[in-house]
Amino acid sequence: MKQDKLQNIDTIPVPDCLHDPFAFEEILALQNTIFSSQKGVLDLSSLSFIEPYSMLGLLLLGRNYMRNIGSKITLRNIPLSIHQYLYRMDFLKQDIFSVPEDLSEQYFLKRSPMSKNLVEISAIPNKERESIKAISSAISVFRTRANHIMKHWLSDTIVDYFVTVISEICQNIYEHSLDSGYLAMQSYTYANQKIVRLAVCDSGIGIRGSFSQSNIQYESPAHLIKLALTTTISSKREFGYGLNQVNSIIEKLGGSIFIRSDNAAVSILYNAKRKSSAHSFLKNDLPPFPGTHISISLTS
């Protein structure tokens, strides 16, 4: 009866846009439709792949909906491989969405040593003591599984670098965002490329909000994000160690960093072979999305 009732509700189809941070913008363009309709039913049947940043973005979209509308978004027609992945990453344990189509236990992805190429979703509270405990737990899981997650890049230095990155970015949640967030990490293959991606996202006041009481001069919201990445500015510390230190590490590793905050985004891609070569892209006037959303990637 419940399933028949759902069938009569108009659903909002989600395009196949959860395979990278740039494609995720397509679902953010649907926010007004999702929130104004108040139907809260998303059809995921078109999805072929989902990666950590998009997964956390979807999670926060659902949390924002629940906070504003007072009910959960329903996810329908989830492809088996996507459903298995969401279950494996503890996405469904966050209790943000209604999922009427249960995943049978026979389809659960088992937690074998060969599947330790990820760090499941970790909730990062906005209170310092609880946050430090959650960050330490996530770092412990990462260190335990680093041989699998970082097997194509593995060295003691890289592992230590990523511990610093995780610590710095997650610390920003309780220091700056005034809200809670999530962390997830995974290595995977997509479009014939081996990728390791760390995602840390919150739905707080954003970078511009955290600098609202400072005297920093900037040309646009995206320019402020770039300043936070590439210069030693900080809204709290005398020297801006946080994002600037993270950016320096990603530059050394020849990786990429993508930051979206409110309605602006910055992407910086470093060349692994030519350390001095970097490409940066700034975007403003994007669909507003509360908080700060960060994707850090290494690509083989």
| Residue 220 belongs to domain with CATH number | 3.30.565.10
Within 10 angstroms of residue 131's Cβ, the number of other Cβ atoms is 20
Within this chain, do residues 160 and 238 fall inside the same structural domain, yes or no?
yes
Within this chain, do residues 267 and 294 fall inside the same structural domain, yes or no?
yes
Domain C-terminal end among 35, 68, 101: 101
**Per the structure block, which two tokens stand in for 284?**
């403003």
Within this chain, do residues 174 and 82 fall inside the same structural domain, yes or no?
no
**Per the structure block, which two tokens stand in for 196?**
């390791």
Within this chain, do residues 227 and 123 fall inside the same structural domain, yes or no?
yes
On whether residue 107 sits in a domain, the answer given is no
Higher pLDDT, residue 268 or 105: 268
Res. 32: pLDDT tops 60: yes
Within this chain, do residues 54 and 124 fall inside the same structural domain, yes or no?
no
Within this chain, do residues 265 and 125 fall inside the same structural domain, yes or no?
yes
Domain count, the chain: 2
Domain C-terminal end among 44, 74, 101: 101
Is residue 168 within a helix (H) or strand (E), and if so which, with residue range? helix 156-172
166 in Cβ contact with 135 (< 8 Å): yes
Query: Concatenated DSSP letters for 151-162?
Result: TTT--HHHHHHH
Residue-wise pLDDT for 139-170, tens only, equals: 999 999 999 999 988 888 999 999 999 999 99
Within this chain, do residues 121 and 256 fall inside the same structural domain, yes or no?
yes
On whether residue 97 sits in a domain, the answer given is yes
Task: Report the Cα 52 to chain-centroid distance in Å.
Answer: 6
- CATH code for the domain in which residue 19 is found: 3.30.750.24
Within this chain, do residues 97 and 156 fall inside the same structural domain, yes or no?
no
Within this chain, do residues 127 and 196 fall inside the same structural domain, yes or no?
yes
pTM for this predicted structure: 0.91
Within this chain, do residues 147 and 266 fall inside the same structural domain, yes or no?
yes
CA angle in degrees (0–180, nearest 5) for 199-183-66: 105
Range of the domain at 41: 2-101
Look at residue 210 in the predicted model and tell me its pLDDT: 87
User: Across all residues in the chain, what is the average pLDDT?
Assistant: 88
Q: Residue 5: which pLDDT band, with cuts at 50, 70 and 90?
A: very low
Res. 114: pLDDT tops 60: no
CA angle in degrees (0–180, nearest 5) for 247-250-256: 100
Cα(24)–Cα(189) distance, integer angstroms: 18
Within this chain, do residues 153 and 26 fall inside the same structural domain, yes or no?
no
Within this chain, do residues 119 and 24 fall inside the same structural domain, yes or no?
no
Burial class (CB in 10 A: 0-12, 13-18, 19+), 194: middle
Kindly state the average pLDDT of the residues 93-98: 96
CA gyration radius, the chain: 19
Grouping H, G, I as helix, E, B as strand and the rest as coil, residue 40 is: coil
On whether residue 106 sits in a domain, the answer given is no
On whether residue 125 sits in a domain, the answer given is yes
Cα(40)–Cα(34) distance, integer angstroms: 6
Domain C-terminal end among 46, 67, 101: 101
